[in-house]
Amino acid sequence: MSWDQVWIDVNIATMDPEISAPYGAITDAAIAIKEGKIAWMGPRSELPEFDVLSTPVYRGKDGWLTPGLIDAHTHLVFAGNRANEFELRLQGASYEEIARAGGGIISTVKACREASEAELFELGRQRLNALAKEGVTTVEIKSGYGLDTETELKLLRVARELGKHHHVDVKITFLGAHAIPPEYKDNSDAYVDLVLDEMLPAVIQEGLADAVDVFCENIAFSLAQTERVLSAAKQAGLDIKLHAEQLSNLGGSAMAAKLGAKSVDHIEYLDEAGVKALSESGTCATLLPGAFYFLRETQMPPIDMLRQYEVPMVLASDYNPGSSPLCSSLLMLNMGCTLFRLTPEEALAGMTRNAAKALGVEASVGVLKVGMQADFCLWDITTPAALAYSYGVDVCKEVLKNGNLVHQ
């Protein structure tokens, strides 16, 4: 056998559903890499002979390998911060009240319109580094803090540049319909026209997005407006996803599912009809415990129903300055379990296998098996449940991206 590198002295949480053990685990395993892909994987006792003189062999000190983590929902390109609103909320104001008074998303929009591409890139790079340090190898980044053509394109270009200059793979989502900008305060339909007639064609022309998202909510876009945007995106061949059922139940998830959305995200207020629609279309349910925690929400997403209908559950950070200023994927594994009562295995699937599905990259990443990209992490833990159990001590020892050691 001729391989580029071999890892031994490891246990592997493959997350491959075809391996029946919990976490798809193979204990006392070995894994071989060739040309950035997994070339062999299995119990060490079955490792075929290979040229030990010419092949680097790494020892994992009996730690665990998992697929590289995937954070499938972030807004990590933004300027400014909203610490002042955090203070206001602690004095009694609600997220909705602040948004209606021109704060919230709109205050971040002001900061983004003023920021240069270089400033936004540097801020994004630091945040991407923070996620990468914790084992994230694929991330989704949304625009949505521009709300005019020029700034939306600027944010998307920054996301694209981050992907070019960082080992983390970046999937980009155009979220022009994130909030109604002040200029269109009393005419949201005209803003939707702008998104459809000017922004979306420009985004497509420059090849700046893989997917399109909308915030479907009372304080943002109606069901009808959302459907217009998602239908146009679908027609243009882009993936679609949705911020839905976060503060109320408008039926956005069911509508998006019928259009074939990859995921619907937040979904605290999703009802059974909505869950059924997701299961029929194979749409993922993205749970965002950071926003639930930070906004001190009390309405739980319908986890048991999602399980019952076998809807793939995704966990993501939703990292953004307003509702989830928590730039940590590992923290979400913990919160997914403590706040939403996921099992540690469900939580890890939500940041690996199911997250890959939500981003349409499941053919190459998200589970460890032969032929998949060699994106994986080595953790100094004794059981995979430890990843969700404890938080704060650095247990990420190595990260491989396409077979290259990249851990900082």
On whether 318 is known to bind a ligand per the annotation, the reply is yes
Among 171, 243, 353, 401, binds ligand NIG (CB under 6 A): 243
CB nearer to Fe ion: pick between 318 and 398: 318
- Interacting stretch for ligand NIG, rule CB under 6 A, among 29-37, 104-112, 301-309, 338-346? 104-112
Among 138, 151, 226, 246, binds ligand NIG (CB under 6 A): 246
Q: How many CA atoms lie within 13 A of 40 on its CB side?
A: 19
On whether 299 is known to bind a ligand per the annotation, the reply is no
Neighbours of 127 (CB within 10 A): 20
Positions 208 through 227 that interact with ligand NIG (CB under 6 A): 215
How near is the Cβ of 295 to ligand NIG at its closest, in Å?
A: 8
Among 41, 98, 105, 396, binds ligand NIG (CB under 6 A): 105
Torsion from C-alpha of 214, 217, 221, 226, nearest 10 degrees: 50
Q: Which does 104 bind (CB under 5 to 8 A by kind): ligand NIG, Fe ion, none?
A: ligand NIG
Phi, psi of 132 (to 5 degrees): -60, -35
Among 63, 68, 104, 181, binds ligand NIG (CB under 6 A): 104
What residues have CB less than 8 Å from 402, skipping those under 6 apart?
36, 373, 374, 375
Structure tokens at 261: 């959305």
CB nearer to ligand NIG: pick between 65 and 284: 284
How near is the Cβ of 17 to ligand NIG at its closest, in Å?
A: 29
CB nearer to ligand NIG: pick between 121 and 294: 294
Of 56, 87, 37, 109, the closest CA to residue 372 belongs to 37
Confirm if 159 and 136 have CB atoms less than 8 A apart: no
Among 227, 318, 345, 375, binds Fe ion (CB under 5 A): 318
DSSP state of 35: T
What residues have CB less than 8 Å from 160, skipping those under 6 apart?
170, 172, 208
CB nearer to Fe ion: pick between 23 and 145: 145
Q: Which does 246 bind (CB under 5 to 8 A by kind): ligand NIG, Fe ion, none?
A: ligand NIG
On whether 71 is known to bind a ligand per the annotation, the reply is no
Confirm if 146 and 155 have CB atoms less than 8 A apart: yes
CB nearer to ligand NIG: pick between 294 and 379: 294
DSSP state of 195: I
CB nearer to ligand NIG: pick between 322 and 403: 322
Q: State how far the Cα of 389 lies from the Cα of 317, in Å rounded to an integer.
A: 17
Positions 267 through 326 that interact with ligand NIG (CB under 6 A): 291, 318, 320-323
What H or E segment, with its residue span, contains residue 314? strand 313-315
Q: Which does 384 bind (CB under 5 to 8 A by kind): ligand NIG, Fe ion, none?
A: none
What residues have CB less than 8 Å from 247, skipping those under 6 apart?
96, 217, 218, 219, 268, 269
CB nearer to Fe ion: pick between 268 and 318: 318
In 195-302, which ranges are continuous DSSP H helix? 200-205, 223-235, 252-258, 272-281, 289-294
Q: State how far the Cα of 82 lies from the Cα of 378, in Å rounded to an integer.
A: 35
On whether 178 is known to bind a ligand per the annotation, the reply is yes
How near is the Cβ of 156 to ligand NIG at its closest, in Å?
A: 17
Binding site for ligand NIG (CB under 6 A): 104-105, 108, 215, 243, 246, 291, 318, 320-323
Annotated binding site for 4-imidazolone-5-propanoate: 82, 145, 178, 246, 323
Binding site for Fe ion (CB under 5 A): 318
Annotated binding site: 73, 75, 82, 145, 178, 243, 246, 318, 320, 322-323
